[in-house]
Amino acid sequence: MLTGITEGLMTIDKVVLSFNSDVESTDEYSSNEILEKLRIVKSHTDLVIYFASWYSRETGRPFPQMLKVGLRTLIRSVKTHHMSNYFEFDDYLRNEITNEMLEFSEKSI
């Protein structure tokens, strides 16, 4: 379970992940937009954990590696998906996570 998000760090239970290279704070985003994006990240973290766990079991890749792939994909998806299509975000995210985890697993073989 997600237990904290701070400047470039996400804590899930006792695992701390850094994603500074994927998260930027610029003047082009208002505080409300940033908070909304963080809310979306937080609300979809359980989905990422589910996929990371499943792909870890299926491919034999370590769970933390798959989790990192999933979280980076989630953050990138939040940045690239148009908010006007928010109702389709779950499907978009599932597709992106699946593609990234499969690609990561194939590269790692």
Render pLDDT for 86-100 as a digit per residue (tens, 0 to 9): 557 888 899 999 999
What does the pLDDT look like over 45-89, one tens digit per residue? Answer: 999 999 999 999 999 999 999 999 999 999 998 888 775 555 578
pLDDT at 11: 58
**All domains of the chain in start order, with CATH:** 29-108 (1.10.1740)
- Tokens at 32, concatenated: 């409300």
For residues 70 and 101, the answer to whether their CB atoms sit within 8 Å is yes
What is d(CA 74, CA 47) in angstroms, rounded to the nearest whole number? 10
Q: Which H or E run contains 5?
A: strand 2-6
Give 3-state DSSP helix, strand, coil % of the chain, rounded to 5. 70, 10, 20
